[in-house]
Every structure is written in C-alpha cells, then in structure tokens.
Amino acid sequence: MNIAGLIESLKPRLDEIEEEMAQPVTLSDQRIMTSLVREHRRLKEVLSVNDQITKTKQEIDGLNDALDDPELAELAEVEIPELKEKLTQLETKIITLIIPEEPEDSRNAVLEIRAGTGGDEAALFAADLYRMYQYYFEKRGWKYKIINGNFSDLGGIKELTLNVSGEDVYSKLKLESGVHRVQRVPTTETSGRLHTSAATVAVLPEAEEVDVQIDQNDLKIDTYRSSGPGGQHVNKTDSAIRITHLPTGIVVTCQDEKSQLKNRNQAMKVLRSKIYKIALEEEHSKRAAQRRDQVSSGDRSAKIRTYNFPQYRVTEHRIPLTIYRLDEVLSGDLDLLLDPLIEHFANSKIEEILKVKSA
C-alpha cells in the first residue's frame, strides 16, 4: 500500500465516526465526543488537502502542456514554479495530518527547565531558553504560569516549572524534551574562551484528576516559607508547599502563590502530570520498544539541540538539521525547528503504518 491507498482507507473511518457520534452513549460522554470530533475534523482536512493536491497536479500538467503554445508559454513559466511550491507545502501538510493524534496531544503541558552541566553559565542559558519559550507562547497565543522557580544570583535559572495552556500545547512542546546545549563565550569569561554548557527541558502532558487517582495516605506534605529574588516573591508566611509521593519518590514544590491552598493545588497538578507521564511511558514501551524516556540528566553528551552563538547556528541533532538563524529561534521562531521535526517523525510513522498494512 502507498500513501494514496492509505488516504483512501481513511474514508470508511469517517462514516464510522459519524455513526458513533450519533449513539446515545457517546452523546452522554463529553470526553469521547470531543475525541471523535477532533478525529472527524482531522480526517475531513486530510481528504480536503488531498483534493487540493490532485487539483494542483492537474493545473501543473495543464501548464506544462501550455509551454508548447507560444501565446501561453510565458504565463505558464511564471505560474508553474508557484504551483510546484504550493504542491510541496500541501504534500508536507498531508503527511502530518495522516498520522493519528496521540490522545494526550491536545492537552495542556507542564514544562520544566533545569540548569545542567556548566555552573552559572548553564543557569544563564536556562534563562535564555525560558525567554525563548515566552516569545513562542506569545506567538501561538498560549498562556503560561510559573508554578515554581529557583533563580541564581546572576539572573539565571536553576530550576523553573511552568504550566502552559492553549490549543494543542503538548503536541508541539513534547518535542522540546531533552538536553539543550549552548556554545558561547560567557560574559564572565575574561580570556574569550568558548564554553559549552547545557540545560534540560522536560515536558509533561497535564493530567486531570480522572486520569490519576492519588491516595492521600501516599503523600508527605511539608510547608515552608517561600524564597526568591526579593520583592513580591518573598513571603512572610509558610505558604510554600512540598509534596512527596511516597510510592514513586516524586517530589514537587510550589511557592509562586501567596495562598497555601493555591500552592497545594498547583503542586498536585504537577504531581498528577508526572505520575500520568510515567503511566504513559510504560504503556508506550509495551507498544513500541523504540520509544525513549524523557531526559533525566544534564549531560552534554545526551544533547538534542546545540545553540552555537559565535556562528549564529542552531543544530537539531535528531534529524539532523542545521540553520544559521539563531536570533530568530531565540526570539520565539521555534517552528523553524519544530515543523521539520514533526514532518520527519510523521514520515517515519507513515512508513511503519504502510509496512503493517502491506504485511
């Protein structure tokens, strides 16, 4: 089976979805209905884009025939490159649309940034990553909230946890998980020597209470006085919360709110997401042995991406891809990297699907 055959095989699923959406049991379950609506919308878009591809190819063929006509040749020579560019964009789009969404892709996310190897310079780089994500969130219209932060005296970030909300947040941000390496001359370096440092990024799908049931007896909850760089971040009461999940050893903290109850609720949200992520990884590892766990250390050798300041270069090691547009990436143009990544992984999944269907 080829991609055309795969697209054709999606049509019966549309009829199945429409039948399922009409069932009383579906109408009474908002979560199932939402999932079916999303799948129905995706499949309709696949077929729509496929129709556009067919039409564009026909237009190109017609213009190629017109090249032999002296009166139409000049116009055809202008329009053919434009249509070929449009065709390339449509073919890229349909590849990403064909792949079934993971159930968690539409969720909000918990994003963690930690300084890794490199001391103060690693903390400063972690702050650069945070600013990069802030710009990216703004471009996509996403909202974010700091849950917990630990900052260095030089303005760097030792550790930062954010809750990010918006449309399809996790489907994009999950590709940021891993070790991010930086190569540059630190401002504190008097000899001009190039340093290599690293920071880690972990992205978790936000879990709801129905996803993860937590026994309160499994929790050890401590309160303490929040700390920070000063001003509004310093609290005079024991409002900060530290929750330890005894069965897994997971520890989460939250001190951003002045209210102890709000900090507890935020910390529980992060804890549920961490436990949910563990459950997802266990499930995925059973289905596909090649699925890798998220990064757990700041070792530079485990890098997924390198930001080289002297050469204005960003290298994505998973494809690989190298672009000399560092300023744009740090200003939030992350889709320069994420779009090729998404297409690459989509192509890989399509190959797997075609192999299964051809077997």
Residue 189: what are its φ and ψ, rounded to 5°?
Answer: -90, 110
Helices then strands, counting H and E runs in the chain, come out as 10, 11
Distance CA 298, CA 178 (A): 9
Q: What does pLDDT average to over the chain?
A: 86
**Which CATH number applies to 3-98?**
1.20.58
Q: Output DSSP code: residue 267.
A: H
Q: How confident is the model at residue 283 (pLDDT cuts 50, 70, 90)?
A: low
C-alpha to C-alpha distance for 25 and 186, rounded to whole angstroms? 61
* CB neighbour list of residue 288: distance below 8 Å, 6 or more residues apart: none
Task: Say what the pLDDT of residue 250 is.
Answer: 93
Q: What is the DSSP string of 14-32?
A: HHHHHHHHTSHHHHT-HHH
How confident is residue 296, by pLDDT bands cut at 50, 70 and 90? Answer: very low
User: What's the pLDDT at 209?
Assistant: 64
What band does 210 get if pLDDT is binned at 50, 70 and 90? low
Other Cβ atoms within 10 Å of 116 Cβ, number? 24
Residue-wise pLDDT for 85-144, tens only, equals 999 989 888 988 888 778 788 889 999 999 998 889 999 999 999 999 999 999 999 999
The answer, yes or no, to whether residue 359 has pLDDT greater than 70, is no
In the predicted structure, residue 274 carries a pLDDT above the cut 60: yes
* Amino acid identity, position 50: N
Domain ranges of the chain: 3-98
- Using CA atoms, how far apart are residues 320 and 341, in angstroms rounded to an integer? 9
Dihedral sign of CA atoms 296, 298, 300, 303 in order: positive
For 190, the token pair is 């008097």
pLDDT tens sequence across 214-270: 889 999 999 887 765 444 444 556 788 999 999 999 999 998 777 888 898 889 989
pLDDT in tens, 19-41: 999 999 988 988 788 888 988 99
- Token reading at 26: 């579906």
- Residue with token string 């290298």: 315
- Residue 237: predicted pLDDT: 61
With both helix axes pointing from N to C terminus, report the angle between 11-21 and 30-66 in degrees, rounded to the nearest 10: 150
pLDDT digits (tens, 9 = 90+) for 69-83: 888 888 899 999 999
